[in-house]
Each structure stands twice: as C-alpha cells, then as structure tokens.
Structure 1
Amino acid sequence: MLFKKHSSHQLYLAILAVTLSSIQSVAFANQDWNCRQVNDQWDCSASVSATALLDKKPTANAKQPRNRPFIATKKAPTSAPASSSKKFTPVRNKVIAKAPSATAPPDHSSQASSHPITAPVIDQHLAALKKALNSTSNNHPSITSETTAKADSLSNKTDYTANQLKSSAGDKQPLILANNAQSPSYSTEVEQTDIDYKSLDWYPYTASENSQKVCKGRYISPTIGDDSAADTPPDLQAIFITADQSATEIGKSSTLTGNVDLQQGNRSLHSPLAKLDQETGAFSLEDGVTFRQTGMLIVASKAEGNINEEETRLYDAKYVIHEKHIRGDADVIIRRSKNVLDIEKGSYTFCPPGENAWKISADKINLDLVSGFGRADNARLVIFGNSVLYLPFFYFPIDDRRQSGFLYPSIKFRSGDSSIAIPYYFNIATNMDDTLTTSLFSDGNILLENEFRYLDENSLNVLSTGFASQKTTLDKRRWVLGLNHTGRYDRITTVVDYTEVSDDDYFSDFDTKLNIDEGDNDHLNQSAKIIYQADTWKSSILLQKYQTIDSTKKKPYQRLPEIRLTGTLPDNYQHYNFNHRSVFTRFDRDQTGLTGRDLTVGDRLILNPSITGEYRNSWGYIKPAVKFWHANYHLSDQPSNISSNQSVTVPILEIDSGLFFDRDMSFQGKSYTQTLEPRLYALYVPYKDQSDLPDFDTSELTFTYNSLFRDNRFSGDDRFGDAQQVSLGLTSRVISDQGREIISASVGHAFYFSDREVRIDPSDAPIKDNSSDFATSIIWRPNIRVRALFDAAFDAGTFNNSEMTLDLKYEEDQNHVIGVRHRFTRDIRKQTTLSYLWPINERWSSLGLVQYDWKTNDTVDIAAGLEYQSCCWKTRVVFRQELESNNKRDNSIALQFVLKGLGGIGKSPTTELRNKIKGYEKREYYNAND
C-alpha cells in the first residue's frame, strides 16, 4: 500500500533503520554539503545545527528551502527529558524511539494520492500511531512517555493517507522514526556549486592561500554527525533515516525513494532509491550511492547486501582517503567487515582528480584498516597510460604505522655499470626494526646491506652491516660495519660512533644505502665515550681511533684513552668563579712510513685551573682572570735529542672589559636603537720554551675578530702561545623597535709588546709584528629575505686583504634562493661559489652551482639541473662536472623520477649538493609536505 510523506510509513522506516543497524560504514550520504568560502577559508560543516533544523518553526518571511538540504536529523538523547520519569539506558544496537518534530510539513499537493485527506482519517491514524508506540513502549522501558506525548502534537500537522497501521508482532527493537524536516536556507559568503570534482570532496585553494603550491587543491572531509557522540561506540549510536516517500507491502518489501539518507555516528549513506526484502533481509541501493565516514568517501552506482550478513558490495565505485591524498576506482568494492575493504579490478593513486600521471592497477586490492596496510595482487604500475612494471603482489601502507614488507626499489645507471637495490623492511616491534637491502649489479656482483635499529627509554642504537660478493674476485671479501649508539642513564651519557670497511675503495665502489658516517672521506671514526655529569663537575672517558682509507694521507693519532675532568667550585662567591680542567691522554699511531718527530707517541697530562671575576652593570663590565696551563709528557719513539719526560707550566693573566652606549635614531620614518660597544682586552702570557713538546693535536687558529679576545692562538693542548698584547674592539648595532638586529658591525686591532716565539714547528722563526691585522665582522639583515656576512682581515700597514669570507644569501621563499660565497686566504686559497634555486614557472624550476678557483683559474665543481613537478609526480635531471684530486674531471648525468605517494626511481641527483646549494634541504622539506 502507498503512503505519503509524514504518514504512518514512518514506523516502517524505523523498522528499516533497525534492520540496517548492523551495516557499519557501508556508504556515505550524498547530500550536497555546499562547502563554501568563509573569510577566505573553506567551511564544509553545516551552519545550522540539526536540532535547530528540526525545531525551528517557519516564519512568514522564511526563504524557500534548497532542493537538496543538509542532513536534518536530531540525535537520540543520552538521557530522558526532564519531564520524563523514565531513565534512558543505551544498549547495543538499540536506540530510543523519537517521534517527528512539530515542524510544519512542506506542501505536497502536487503528489498523487489515492485517498482524500480528511480530519477523521488524520485522527484515526494518529490513534493507531499512538497505540503502536504505546505497545512498543511497554516492551521497552527505555522509551519515554514524552514519545507518545509528541504524537498528540501531530494533529493538523501531519499529512498521510492510510486505512490502518499494524505493528509487526514480535518486534524486539526500539524504533527510530523517519523525519524529513526541510533545511531552511541561510546565506553564505561564496556558494561553490560549480567546482570540478566536488563530488570527490576536491576543492581548490582560495586566493589568499599559497598560490605557489604545486597542488592547486586538496581533499576536504566534511564534518559528519555530532562531535559530542565521538566517544560513544558506533554500535550504541542511533540510526537516523530520512526519505521523501515510501511504498511498503507489509511482510514482503519496502521501497524508499527520493533523498534517502541514513546516518549513524560519523557514518552516513545517501541514495535516491532503497529497497528492502523483509523476508530474506536483502537490501539494495540504486541510482547512485554515496558512503561517508570520517576521512573516507565512496561513490558508487549501486550497493547491495543483506542485513543478516556483514558483507556489502558497491559497484562501479570511486573512493577517496582524504588525509592521505589517495583516491582510486573499482568495478566492485566489497566491505567484508567495518574495517576491511576488498577492491576488485581497482586502482590506487596519489594524483588529484582529473590527473592520472600514475596509478597502481590490480586485479584485487585489500585495505585493512586494523593493520593499516594494503595488498595488491597482479599489480601493474601504470605511468601515463602505459604499464611499465608488473608485480605479482605489492604491499603498501595506508596510514602512518610501520609495516613489514618490501620498500620501493632504487635504480642507478652509470657509465659501464648499473644496479638495482631492493630493500625489505622488518617491523619487529614498536621499538625495533630492521632493513635488509639486496643490490644486484649488471656485472653479476651482489651486495647485501642490513641496518638494525633498537630504541628504548634510555638509548638509540643502530647496527649497520654490509657484505659484497664479487663474481670476478671471489677470494676477496668486502664488507662494512657501522655502530651508532647514544644513551642517557640518569647522570651518565654514553656515545659510540664506529665505522670500519674491508678496503680503501669500498665507499667509492659501492653506493651504500646504510646511514653511516663516512667521516671526512679520508679517516673513518671509531670511538666510544662515557660521560658523567654531576652538579658542579663533569668527567668523561674517550677511546678513539681512525681507519685511514686514503693511503696518501698521514694517519692521525689514536686516543687510547682520554680522561677528562672539569668542574667549578660551588657558587659561594659573589663575583668570582673557580674552574678546573684536567685531561690525561695516551696517544698512539700506526708508524708505518713515518720518520722523525712524527714517530713520537706517549702520554700527556694537562692541568688548567683558573679564577675569573666578573663585575657587570647596565653600562659596562670588567672580567679579570688568572689561569695556569701545565703540560706533562711521558714520551717514547721521540728523536734522540729530546727527553722522554717533558713538563712546562704557563701562567696567564687577562682582563676583559667593555662599555655599553645606546641612542634612539630614525631612518625613513622608522625608529631604531643604535648601540656603541667599545671593548678593551689585555693579555699577558710569558714565553715558555715548548720546542721539545710533541704535536699530537694542535693547529694554529684562523685570524678573525673573535681571535683578538682569545687567551691562546692555538687549538689543542700541545702549545700555549706567549703574548703581551692589548686588543681594542668596537661594535655597533642597529636594532628595530621589534627587537630584530638589522646590522652588527665590528672592527678590532691588537698591539703586541713582544715577539711571539712559540711555534708549532720549532724551526719556524718568531713572529715579530708589533700589531695585528685589522679584523672586521659585519652581519647585515635588512629584511627577512636577505642575509650578508662579511669577515675579513686587512694588513695594518698596507690595508691589503689577508683573510676574507663573504657569504650572501637571498631567500624569498623555499623555491627562490640565491647564494654567493667567496673565501680568500693569502697564498693559500681564493675560491668563489655561486648557487641558486629558482622556478621558471609553477611547474618548472632550475638549479645551478659553480665553484671557481681563482688561483688555478679553473672550475672545481659545476652543476646544472632542471626539475618538473606536478601534484603527483616530479622528475629531475642534473649534469655535474667535478675536479678530482688527480686533476681529472668526473662528468655525470643523474636522473630521478619520483611518484609522490609511492616513491622514487633513481637516487636523488642533488643529495651530494645539499651542502653547497643554499636552501636546498629546506626546499625539499616544504615540497615533500606540499
């Protein structure tokens, strides 16, 4: 029999709601969400609450409702209304029955009706409805007395035609009644009704958002349901259904037509047509189905299933996972449970709607929301419509959780050689994993590399191993071993950094995938250190040696061991600090090929106590200090004319002082503060003969502005320079009202009152200059885009430049970067490096690098590259020419192709350029998160 809207068919809609309650997250409601721009931001949530939509009474001036309203449902209460004496208790799959609201019905005079609408008929069926509700209420105390009270209010407000209404015997479920309240219209700043791919929740960026983003839009997941019910288990949440009309044959079938909407918690379903076979429990949704749950959307032509089974099928479907920027399509999507989707003849891609640069197509794709992993069988990688790779099975993550399985391979091509590396990841535990990489080379060689990581509450540990089997030299085993450890146990810190290889050419022959420290490419560090930190002192023990992989280099000293103790007395003195540093080191080395003083090994003890005072106020400071440096050696293998026992003690007296002046100033209408900071530093270190001392770890520091105020012109602990000097410095800063330093400029000069006789090499003559070079340091930041650094030293007599570093950087954003660096040291080095990153247009960008040596009039390094990037893929090609140590040029062309969301083919051609091209690493980070 046929019923009209708001008639007694509502009870049958309620029955359908209960029978569909087992269908969890089958499909989303295809309502017109009408995302709109509000204050230049997208808003996809309803601006009128469900309660307001149900309870708001029409007014004379009310606007006509839209043809496709927002969801107009009212959540089942979590407790009985105040007027009810009965308490509501949620139970699994049981929801409170709710009568329709008293909202005036829309005009349905145009709809066909088989019966005239008369007041007696209305009264007759209202009584039947109340009787059915009372009958249900007797079986279910959770239904409140207000339910039947609301039915009384329907007189003269409900339009229906029916002769009678019967409640099916044995109905055990509380009922939720359908309600198709119309949504009143409301104004929006910008209605977006003509957006491409809106049906897939794809929305373009607004004008105020970053116009330089490669992706011109993003997926927006609308708000579904009531956030207040987010903590309620899905099975305990009410199901709400609305429909324009229905046709029901009691005991056989029910048909809902026109804007059929179902919602439970954060899941919703929409279809123009829904059918239910009451005898078998089979249901079908036709003429277009939309299924939503938070973060996911499925759009299909139809869906079918059975209320007695969990399996549901959606045909000719498209799906979107919003947060992961993932979409795909399928002939059939099978929902076997609320957390598992099987996709037949489907695809998977990161590309936005309308752009299909790449996708994974497979006969079967399984998405397991519990494990967070997907599997594709008989998978094909399709690039620009062409299948380029076949995989019998393929695993991929669908969330951020780690999973065991194959990672994306990398392919490398080089002159006369090529290789493919296939990594497999083992997710052993939440704090433990392992990656095994198999590399196959075109010449038949095989390289196995393994990286094991272990993390606990006190330490991070990485064990790296590699083994190479060479077809042409089976008798030569080549391997690498790396161990990195950092631990903190209360006051104790432990550090291990160990790398060892089988031969000098391992790193040059194999492009290792291990995350190990290759040192300075000449010496591999092998060290272990333990540190104890107390309140006022610290001690440490270091064991350190090196493996030298360049036979032309001199092997460094080993420290086996080095014991340090530093500390200060408790702060019981207002202006004075008492500090102490002592270091014992045993130096050893491989003496092969060494002669003379280079053969010397032995023990060294350094004692360095000091007393430092400090008097400071707002206008200046003065810091006097008295220090001692004592060195004691016990040597072996030293030249015959040098005693095995050496000892020297050097006293140090210094006074550091400064004044602070400032004034307000303005420039181009802006206010600034300018400071003037003169500084006076006096140092007295008497000469002590150190010509017989070995040189284990000492070098002379580069002369800069800061070196004017150091007490020792040497690094390390084998020399302490004699000095009778006074250094003068002057610094001026300009600071904005916001506290940003615009410019800082310093100039300094030192006067020497005696020759400086202590040298590293005893054969070198004393330094007899009466004064130092002029040292300058300027840092200029006119705005947030530009930074300039200038450090230089000028001869005091001729003002010729002796040392200079100039570093300029312009960074408009992560894609617009220009860098210039020039370094000069008289008689040693004069090099300039230019680098840039600059887009040609929104898709194309370029990079370049030139390093030129002015002393040899030759280029040291040249790189030029182009990059193309879209929303779902990018490619780079870089040409590079390097000057090697043997003065031969190494030319290479590197190509990388990256499928966003899937991985890259080929090693990044700019990995080795990151330290030379300013801003590159920052750009990579931003682009990876675009």
Structure 2
Amino acid sequence: MARTSREAPLAALLALLAAPAFGQAVVQPPIVAPTPIAPVLPGAPAPAPAPAAPARGEDQPVTFTAEEVEYDQNRALVVARGRVEAWQGNRVLRADEFTYDRNTGVATARGNVQLIEGDGQVVFADSVVLENQFRDGVLEGLRGLLAQNGRVAAAGARRTGGTVFDLSRVVYSACDPCRDDPLAPPIWQLRARTATLDQQARQARYRDAVVEFGGVPLFWTPYLQHPAGDAPRQSGFLSPTFGITRFLGAFVEAPYYWAIDESQELVLRPQIATSAVPNLGLEYRRRFNFGEIEAEGSLGYLDGSDNTERGFGGHIFSRGRFSLDETWRAGFDLNLATSEDYLRIYRYGARRLLSTQVFTEGFWGPDSYARVDGRGFQGLRRTDDNSRIPVVLPNIYWDWRSPVDPLGGTFTIDTWNFAVFRRTGTSTQRASSRIGYVLPATDAIGGLWTLRAQADLAAYGYTDLAGPPNFSTAADNGSAVQANIRAGLDWRMPFIRQAGEYGHQIVEPRVQIVTGPVTGAQARIPNEDSIDLEFTDANLFRLNRFSGRDRQEGGTRVDYALRAAWHFPNGGMIEGLAGASYRFQRDGGPFFAGSGLENRASDYVARARIMPVSWLEFLGRGRFDQEDGNMRFLDLSTSVSLPTRTTITAGYLYTPAAPYLTPVRNRDEVALGITQQIGHWRFAAYGRYDLDLNRGVTLSASAAYEDECFLLEARFLRRFAEDPATGAQYPANTILLFRIGLKTIGDIGFRAI
C-alpha cells in the first residue's frame, strides 16, 4: 500500500542530512510507516500533540518538501520525486529523486543532487549511492563548491568511512568561470589523475598533478597537498622561495611549518645556496591566556667577500607581551644581530640600530600611569662604537593628573628617574620630578586664555662628563642639582567669518609670554634626554623647547604667531601659520648654533596645509632665518589622487647639519612616487634623490596582477647608501623579487640580483 502527499516527514533522510557532505554519517533511525491521523469533527477539540523528544545534533527534526512521496510498506521502500528539498539545522539536500531500500540499506539520489554544508561547501553530483548506514558511497559526476571559492570536479568519487573521498580524473580551481564563455579554461586549474579529500583532516591530496594556465600545462608534480575549506593549522612544508643573488648564488628556501599544539607553532626556514654555506631561520610563536611570545632567529656564515665580515653570523628578534592583571602588564623586546651585512645578505631586513628592553607598566584610567624598564642598544655598522652606546637600568617613570579644581585648572605630577651606563663615556644617575598646572579661561569678548606653570627639580650623579656624548670642559666626575620654574600666559583670539556657500574663515592671532630664571650654559649637568633639538611650529609655544629635562630653557620671552584657515563645505580646507619668539635676555639656554633659538630673535617657523578637494593635499613645514629669510629647514609633501585611479606623491626635505648626528652634513632630498590601477593590474614607482651628494637614495618599482584566484607580482628595490667605513655601497643593496600565488594552493617566490 502506498501513500502520496506533497509535504511529509521522511525519516530516511535524517541520517543523510545529519552527515556532512564530506563528513562521517551516523546510524540512521529505522523507517516507520506514517502514523494515521484521526479525523477531527467540527466543534470538537483538537487532540493534544504528542510530546516532542528533545532535538539535538543528528536527532534534530528533518523538514522537507517534494512534489511526490511514496512509501511502500511491503517492500520497505521510500521514494520521493520532484524537486526534493530537505534540511536539518544548517544542512540542505536537494535532488530530483530519492530512494531508500530498507532491506539492503542502500539509498540512492538521482538528478541534480546537491549537498550543502553549513560551512558553505556545496557538492553537486549526477547520482549518489550510499550504503553501510550512509558511511560509504559512490558518486558520479561530482562537482563541489568548497570554502574560499574553491571548485572541484571529478568523473567519479568513492566515500569511505564517511570522511574520505577518493576521486578520479580531478580538476580543481579557485577561479570564477568566465562570464562571456563559462566553458573556457580558467586562469589556472589543477588536474590530477587521482585525489583524496579528507574531510576530517580538511586536506586535499593530489597524485600525478599538472597545473595549467589558460588550459596550457606548465608545471607537473607527483604529489601536491593543500587545505580544503576551513582547515585547522597543520604541520607541513610551505611554498618554497627560489632565487639568485650576487652573494648567495642560486638558492632555495623550503620552509617547514610545525603546528606544535593549539597555542604554539614553529617555522623552520632552511636555505641552501651554491655560493654560501646553508642558513637556518626560525620563527616561533606562542599564545597564553595572559599574553603572547614571538621570536625570529637565524644562524649562518659569511665568507668575507666584498669587504664583509668573515665568520659565523646570526640574529634574534623577539617580543613578549603579558597582562598581569587589570592594571599591570609586562613585556620584553630582545633584538641582537652579528652585523648589518649579515641581515642584508640573508634577507632579514636592513637595520642600523637594535634595541632591547624589559618593562612593566600600569594604567589607572586616563589620569595615572607608571612604568619601570631596562633598555639596551646595539649599533650594527662598523663605524659604531658600542662601548659609547648606553645601557639604561633602571628607568622609572610615574605621572598623575588631578581632577579639575574649582577654578577649572588641572595639576600634574610626575617623576622620571634612571641610571645610564657606558663603558666609554658618561655614566649618569638621575632623580627628577615635575609639577605642572594648566588653567584655561575665556573672556567676555571671546578671547581664549591659558595659564601654564611648570616646576622641575633634578639631582644627578655622573662620571666621565668629559667623555661622549657630553664632552664637558667644566666637570668630569661629581654630582649636581638643577631646578627651574617656568610660567606662561597664552592668549589667542579666533575671529570667524561666515562665507556663505563657500564655508567659513578663521583668523587667529596668538601671543604668549613665558618667564623664569636664567639657566645658563648648564655645562656641569649631564645631557641624556635633550640632545635632539628641532625648533618648529610644533614646539613654538612650549614652556621648555628642549625635548627632555636635562636641558632647561630660561629667561623671559614672547612667542607670537598668526593662524588663518578657510574651511569649505565639502570638507576641504586651506590653513597656514607663521610665528617666532623674542627673548629679552641674551642667555636663554645651551642652544647650539643653527638651532634657530641661539639668538634673542628666533627663526621664523611656519606650516601650511592646502586641501581644497578630497583628491588633493599639500603639507608644508619650514623654518627661516630671522634676518635674511634664508631657509633653515623645509619639509614639503603633496598627494594627488585622480579619478583614473592614479595617485601621485612628491616631497622635498632640507635639514641643516646637526652636531649630534654623524656624519655632520646637510640633507637636501627630493622624492617622487606614482601608483596606477588598471582593472586587476596595479603599478607603482618611487624614488628619492640626494641633491647635496648628487646621487640617488632609493629607487623602487613594482607591478602586480591580482584577482579572486591568482596573483602575479614583481618588485625591484635599489638602495644607494654607502658604508662610511669603506665608502662602498652596502652589500645586497639591489633586490628583484617575483611572486606567483595560486590562492587556496600557495605561492612561489623568486629573488634575483
């Protein structure tokens, strides 16, 4: 006897829907005949529904629709026809016809079979035959839509154990079909005689595989493996890098990834070259519940060619960050290398100075902060004398900001203490504190007033003050105490004019008077944090224009500036500022010649920003001599973004010689860059040129094609920097890189020169 209906429960589909398309099936419940439905007479209450069993996992109820469903109780056969669609949870099955034979345990789905998984993977087949409680089966005409846009097709497939698919005559690609000709070969596809899709391990393995580009076979491999879908981290070889360089000769790097456990991983990067001994690089990462560690290191050997060092070399770059509780955190940075040449030759980055630190710091909202750390530095160039480079241990800092007082002002208190040690040169111990107060106010006509006050107190102990970096002629070993008080009254008046449809304009004069005791040359005070001084509009109105506390500005001065701006309705603007200072005393502090503050009347400082439209921006900042207007410092940059997806950048930089930088010389450079995108293509070029030395600084260019499945990239970089010890350019100063990426498969890099 058969029953037919348009919508009915189909218990035989329960196990099929509970099993992933490439996953393990569960034992299906037995098929039972539909329960007869008792008629309900008009006016009679409806019978109470049977209590529902809890639905969980594979026991969730199955909902399905079909144009026709037949159940033959005598033959124990269920047949559903016509747009069969069933779903359970987030899994869906579609087919033209589904048949289940209870006597043999064989289920068959025919015609446009689709198995859709919750992770986005979709498998299509012409027909599917399943047995052994749906754990084993055979599929014909398989086509799959996997995660990350992966597409697979096979003439036939066999499923074993519910988790492994063995495929024959396989084609795989992550490329979208051509819109104009869907049957045309994609940009790339992988063909293999056989393949295995392991759903449990989320891996695809191919044997006797060929990679085709545009339908043309270009690369053959006996074995290839890649993740299938959202595969978890797994150990295995990563894509290799090939290349040819002047120092290494021909080389190959074949990295191996080791997934140690869920919280840590290691990458081994062995490198074999024809003109150098093997090099081994390591990358290690580990995450904790309270922090993380990252480390990179290597071991190699330099043969001494082209004025490089001879002997073993290596490096380690590492960092760690840890949360101790809601207030405190700790961390470290450990960076060491044998030489800059080693890093350049073996492609670990060009670095001149490495820093190492261990620290702990605490945060109490936005109003208080504390930090304790130790720091060390390493110079990598042969001209660097590391005996003069300091070790700082300890370095202690704490600050606190008070709530706003009844007058509207705010107090700040901090202390900054450190000990600096050098094998050659000045060693310093300092204990210092600072108290500050800021009180803003507004007058009746709209003027903005700000009262600032600052008091500094510091005690020093030092040895070899006559050595670097102080070179003092007034003292050598001893101690000193320094105190200073600075107070300033700042006034500015913004005049605003509405310009109707053209936005609004602002003109804002600003004047500040700052006073305090004369501080003198301070030759008996060691200088550790105020060596670098650059006078610009950014520090024009600071109470102390020195960057740190070891050098204190003194005397009375007046700062003045005029700022003007025009704000447009489209968000654009034109803004500029010009200002200077005048000191009443000749002695205002130990400002070096050329700093712009060595005279009573300071240099003029200015800045400008022009951005009338969103695609054009100009930024400029400069300093000019008070007497003749000669340029002392100038930094210009501009950016233009055109509707043609073209971006042009240009810049100019001039900085005068500074006594604390070696070599002591002016910097006079221009820079120009351009990027262009055309469809899936992008091009870029950039260059910097030193006008003072009449030679290039850097030159780079790149071209790349990238779409949903393919990446082809070429990069060129040339550095013209010279080693001051030899006068020759640094080794490995030219780089040419090629990269081919097959998305979801991997990429291959090639480096030349």
TM-score by length of structure 2 reads 0.81
Match of 2:115 in 1: 291
Match of 1:382 in 2: 211
For the residues of structure 2 that align with 1:389 and 1:565, how far apart are their CA atoms?
A: 64
Q: Could you tell me how far 1:368 is from its partner in structure 2?
A: 4.6
Match of 1:588 in 2: 421
Match of 2:492 in 1: 658
Match of 1:791 in 2: 621
For the residues of structure 1 that align with 2:30 and 2:98, how far apart are their CA atoms?
A: 22
Match of 2:746 in 1: 903
Change (3 A) 1:255 1:537: closer
Structure 2 residue 663 is matched with structure 1 residue 835: no
Counterpart selection for 2:434 from 589, 608, 615: 608
Correspondence list, 1:738-817, <5 A: 740=571, 742-756=573-587, 758-759=589-590, 769-811=599-641, 816-817=646-647
Counterpart selection for 2:683 from 846, 849, 854: 846
For the residues of structure 1 that align with 2:341 and 2:595, how far apart are their CA atoms?
A: 41
| Paired AA for residue 558 in structure 1 | V
SS at match of 2:418: strand
Match of 1:574 in 2: 407
Q: Could you tell me how far 1:690 is from its partner in structure 2?
A: 0.8
Match of 1:500 in 2: 336
Change (3 A) 1:378 1:689: same
For the residues of structure 2 that align with 1:664 and 1:12, how far apart are their CA atoms?
A: 72
- Give the structure with the larger strand fraction: 2
Work out whether residues 17 and 92 of structure 2, in 8 Å CA contact, stay in contact via their aligned partners in 1.
no
For the residues of structure 1 that align with 2:222 and 2:600, how far apart are their CA atoms?
A: 77
Q: What do the CA deviations read for 1:379-435 (whole angstroms, capped 9, x no partner)?
A: 635142425252545242521643333333333332352333333333344433333
Match of 1:301 in 2: 126
Change (3 A) 1:541 1:678: same
Match of 1:426 in 2: 258
Match of 1:894 in 2: 737
Q: Could you tell me how far 1:848 is from its partner in structure 2?
A: 0.8
Match of 1:709 in 2: 541
Counterpart selection for 1:544 from 372, 375, 382: 375
Correspondence list, 1:488-567, <5 A: 488-489=323-324, 490-512=326-348, 521-534=351-364, 537-555=368-386, 556-567=389-400
Q: Could you tell me how far 1:838 is from its partner in structure 2?
A: 0.2
For the residues of structure 2 that align with 1:612 and 1:286, how far apart are their CA atoms?
A: 81
Counterpart selection for 1:455 from 278, 287, 290: 287
- Give the structure with the larger helix fraction: 1
Match of 1:333 in 2: 157
| Paired AA for residue 245 in structure 2 | R
Change (3 A) 1:379 1:634: farther
Work out whether residues 150 and 172 of structure 2, in 8 Å CA contact, stay in contact via their aligned partners in 1.
yes
Correspondence list, 1:403-418, <5 A: 403-415=234-246, 417-418=249-250
Work out whether residues 93 and 237 of structure 1, in 8 Å CA contact, stay in contact via their aligned partners in 2.
no
Work out whether residues 438 and 449 of structure 1, in 8 Å CA contact, stay in contact via their aligned partners in 2.
yes
Q: Could you tell me how far 1:834 is from its partner in structure 2?
A: 0.7
For the residues of structure 2 that align with 1:549 and 1:341, how far apart are their CA atoms?
A: 55
For the residues of structure 1 that align with 2:635 and 2:90, how far apart are their CA atoms?
A: 61
Match of 2:46 in 1: none
Counterpart selection for 1:145 from 14, 38, 44: 38
Work out whether residues 443 and 449 of structure 2, in 8 Å CA contact, stay in contact via their aligned partners in 1.
no
**5+ unaligned residues in a row in structure 2: which ranges?**
22-26, 43-49, 179-184, 467-472, 658-665
Deviates more, 1:392-401 or 1:723-732: 392-401
Q: What do the CA deviations read for 1:305-353 (whole angstroms, capped 9, x no partner)?
A: 23744222211211112x5111111232334466654434424322122
Q: Could you tell me how far 1:873 is from its partner in structure 2?
A: 1.3
Work out whether residues 719 and 760 of structure 1, in 8 Å CA contact, stay in contact via their aligned partners in 2.
no
SS at match of 1:324: helix
SS at match of 1:714: coil
Structure 2 residue 144 is matched with structure 1 residue 319: yes
Q: Could you tell me how far 1:824 is from its partner in structure 2?
A: 1.9
Match of 2:452 in 1: 625
Q: What do the CA deviations read for 1:837-889 (whole angstroms, capped 9, x no partner)?
A: 102x3133321112122223332222233323343212122343321213549
**5+ unaligned residues in a row in structure 1: which ranges?**
2-7, 29-90, 98-131, 138-143, 150-173, 175-230, 513-517, 592-598, 910-930
Work out whether residues 756 and 767 of structure 1, in 8 Å CA contact, stay in contact via their aligned partners in 2.
no
Change (3 A) 1:388 1:734: same
For the residues of structure 2 that align with 1:235 and 1:448, how far apart are their CA atoms?
A: 53
| Paired AA for residue 507 in structure 1 | L
Q: What do the CA deviations read for 1:671-706 (whole angstroms, capped 9, x no partner)?
A: 523223221111224133312333334324222212
For the residues of structure 2 that align with 1:469 and 1:830, how far apart are their CA atoms?
A: 38
Counterpart selection for 1:439 from 242, 252, 271: 271
Change (3 A) 1:814 1:714: farther
Q: Could you tell me how far 1:298 is from its partner in structure 2?
A: 2.1
Match of 2:319 in 1: 484
Change (3 A) 1:614 1:471: closer
| Paired AA for residue 137 in structure 2 | T
Correspondence list, 1:157-236, <5 A: 233-236=57-60
Q: What do the CA deviations read for 1:222-241 (whole angstroms, capped 9, x no partner)?
A: xxxxxxxxx96454322535
Match of 1:184 in 2: none
For the residues of structure 2 that align with 1:540 and 1:283, how far apart are their CA atoms?
A: 69
For the residues of structure 2 that align with 1:608 and 1:501, how far apart are their CA atoms?
A: 38
SS at match of 1:10: coil
Q: What do the CA deviations read for 1:61-85 (whole angstroms, capped 9, x no partner)?
A: xxxxxxxxxxxxxxxxxxxxxxxxx
Q: What do the CA deviations read for 1:417-456 (whole angstroms, capped 9, x no partner)?
A: 2333333333344433333332222346333333322223
Q: Could you tell me how far 1:484 is from its partner in structure 2?
A: 0.7
Q: Could you tell me how far 1:622 is from its partner in structure 2?
A: 2.0
Q: What do the CA deviations read for 1:629-648 (whole angstroms, capped 9, x no partner)?
A: 33432222344861522423
For the residues of structure 2 that align with 1:615 and 1:292, how far apart are their CA atoms?
A: 67
SS at match of 1:691: coil
Work out whether residues 414 and 433 of structure 2, in 8 Å CA contact, stay in contact via their aligned partners in 1.
yes
Correspondence list, 1:245-264, <5 A: 251=75, 259=83, 264=88
Q: Could you tell me how far 1:272 is from its partner in structure 2?
A: 4.6
| Paired AA for residue 380 in structure 1 | A
Work out whether residues 397 and 403 of structure 1, in 8 Å CA contact, stay in contact via their aligned partners in 2.
no
For the residues of structure 2 that align with 1:245 and 1:863, how far apart are their CA atoms?
A: 69
Runs of 4+ in 1 over 6 A off after TM superposition: 11-15, 25-28, 244-249, 252-257, 469-473, 763-767
Change (3 A) 1:279 1:687: closer
SS at match of 1:505: helix
Q: Could you tell me how far 1:652 is from its partner in structure 2?
A: 1.7
> In the comparison of the two structures, how many residue pairs are matched?
696
SS at match of 1:482: strand
User: Cα RMSD between the aligned structures?
Assistant: 4.0
Q: Could you tell me how far 1:479 is from its partner in structure 2?
A: 2.9
Q: What do the CA deviations read for 1:204-253 (whole angstroms, capped 9, x no partner)?
A: xxxxxxxxxxxxxxxxxxxxxxxxxxx96454322535256989896387
Change (3 A) 1:93 1:661: farther
Change (3 A) 1:254 1:833: same
Structure 2 residue 655 is matched with structure 1 residue 825: yes
SS at match of 1:706: helix
Work out whether residues 333 and 342 of structure 1, in 8 Å CA contact, stay in contact via their aligned partners in 2.
yes
Q: Could you tell me how far 1:733 is from its partner in structure 2?
A: 3.0
Deviates more, 1:712-721 or 1:378-387: 378-387
Work out whether residues 314 and 332 of structure 1, in 8 Å CA contact, stay in contact via their aligned partners in 2.
yes
| Paired AA for residue 625 in structure 1 | R
% identity of equivalent residues? 18
Q: Could you tell me how far 1:552 is from its partner in structure 2?
A: 0.5
